[in-house]
Amino acid sequence: MKRLFLSGFLLAALLLCPVLQAQDFRFDAQLRPRLEYRNGYKTLSSESFDPALFISQRSRVGLSFSQPGVRAKVSFQNVRVWGDVPQLNLSDVHGNALHEAWGEFDLNKKLALRVGRQEWVYDDHRILGNVDWAQQGRSHDGLLFKFSPCEFGQVHLGLAWNQDAEHLFGQDYTVGGNYKAAQFLWLHREFGKFSFSFLFLNNGMPYMDMTDSLAPTQEIAYSQTIGPRFTYKHEKFKTNAALYFQGGKDAQNRDLSAQYAAADISMPLPEGFAATLGFEYLSGTDLGGNGNTNESFSPFYGTNHKFNGWMDYFYVGNHNNNAGLMDIYLSLDWKKDAWSLKLMPHLFSLAADVPDPSNPETTLDRGLGTELDFMAGYKLNDIVNISLGYSVMMGTETMQWLKGGDHEKTAGWGWMMLDIKPWAKME
């Protein structure tokens, strides 16, 4: 019986060999423990708060497959804080998750369709990003049409419709913070040293319509984000600029009218150094106004940790109906061999007025404070990276009023991370 089974296995392997030669399999894994010291992360500290110290870890495994006309990927992960469950645990606090599970196939030579759970990452991650700094990351359930009309042009159309269970009746959606429906269109074209992108996002958030208080119904409020992004790369410098507008309705079904503008310029310096000067403007709502229109820009599903300081005071978590933000920053980078360093100061201020709680006839000073971010990294080999950083926030009285805590106590946040990414490719 064993000989018969072995003979059958060898025969099947020989028959499959011609097919397998045209296929590629890749196994990826990631182990990423990160130590964090928090004494003012996301909000100002005070004498009554003790610092937090913990280690979180992402453990991720994935398998990718490709052959002419077909591609697929499956990625599983576990996110935990060391010690968050007993040693003889029956289940995890965070548990295991399916980060990606998609299949992609060509409809013709220029059009492909990707179906399933997938990352949507575009341009500089400002509106759509995978939030890779967060241990859990971000992915979407949806359809993605990928059209390549020419060598230097791309058009992507994404479609998503969310539901929280297999209901027999009704379509109410109860997963907090998620959209009920979303569609986006992304166009990208390169012209030598110049590139252009255009993004349209139609974002549908569920809300309760209380017109009939005895029988409220769930409806969908749609907002539209639309705008271009430009990049230019020269031998001596490179520059980026973006401009977005938001309209429609917010998640509370209020009128939405908001704007975003950003630009930066980078240039190389001697001895492996580089410098970047930039600004970001996200419009805000005058908190002393009538409240009929939301003028606060929302970056929605972007990698917000990448922007406005690494201490995540802004747009990480709740960023709706705020007074906006103006961020002026300067980044100094250095790279040599396996080493890298970055130093980045930020100057923050409000984009709209906030009434002074002690005198409502006046407004608070718009200055929010200064943040200084530092990071050092070392690439041990092609698989292992080590990095660490420390940030300080020197907030103002206005920041204290908005965030709480004590602006006279300098807020600090430090971290150290080990990133191990083994992989193997089989052809």
pLDDT digits (tens, 9 = 90+) for 213-268: 888 999 999 999 999 999 999 989 999 999 999 999 999 999 999 999 999 999 99
pLDDT at 65 over 80: yes
> In the chain, what percentage of residues exceed pLDDT 90?
79
pLDDT at residue 322, as a whole number: 86
On average, the pLDDT of the chain sits at: 91
Mean pLDDT, residues 362-389: 96
Q: Is the pLDDT of residue 424 over 70?
A: yes
Give the range among 39-48, 338-347, 369-378 with minimum mean pLDDT: 39-48
Pick the CATH number of 103-162+177-417 from 3.40.50.450, 2.40.160.100, 3.40.50.850, 3.90.980.10: 2.40.160.100
- For residues 93 and 181, the model is more confident at 181
User: What is the rounded average pLDDT of the residues 359-364?
Assistant: 87
HEC sequence for the chain: CHHHHHHHHHHHHHHHHHHHCCCEEEEEEEEEEEEEEEECCCCCCCCCCCCEEEEEEEEEEEEEEEECCEEEEEEEEEEEECCCCCCCCCCCCCCEEEEEEEEEEECCCCEEEEEEEECCCCCCCCCECCCCCCCCCCCEEEEEEEEEEECCEEEEEEEEECCCCCCCCCCCCCCCCCCCEEEEEEEEEEECCEEEEEEEEEEEEEEEECCCCCCCEEEEEEEEEEEEEEEEECCCCEEEEEEEEEEEECCCCCEECEEEEEEEEEEECHHHEEEEEEEEEECCCCCCCCCCEECCCCCCECCHHHCCCCCCCCCCCCCCCCCCEEEEEEEEEEEECCEEEEEEEEEEECCCCCEECCEEEEECCCEEEEEEEEEEEEECCCCEEEEEEEEEEEECHHHHHHHCCCCCCCEEEEEEEEEECCEEEEC
The string of pLDDT tens digits covering residues 294-312 is 999 999 999 999 999 999 9
Tens digit of each residue's pLDDT (9 = 90 or more) over 258-298:
999 999 999 999 999 999 999 999 999 988 777 689 999 99
Whether the predicted model's global pTM rises above the 0.95 cut: no
| Cα gap 373→330, rounded to integer Å | 10
In angstroms, rounded to a whole number, what is the distance separating the alpha carbons of residues 124 and 228?
Answer: 12
**427 — pLDDT class (breaks 50, 70, 90):** low
Pick the closest to residue 412 from 121, 45, 4 (CA basis).
Answer: 45
Reported as a single tens digit per residue, the pLDDT across 158-197 is 999 999 999 999 999 999 889 999 999 999 999 999 999 9
* Sequence ranges of the domains in the chain: 103-162+177-417
Whether residue 5 has pLDDT greater than 80: no
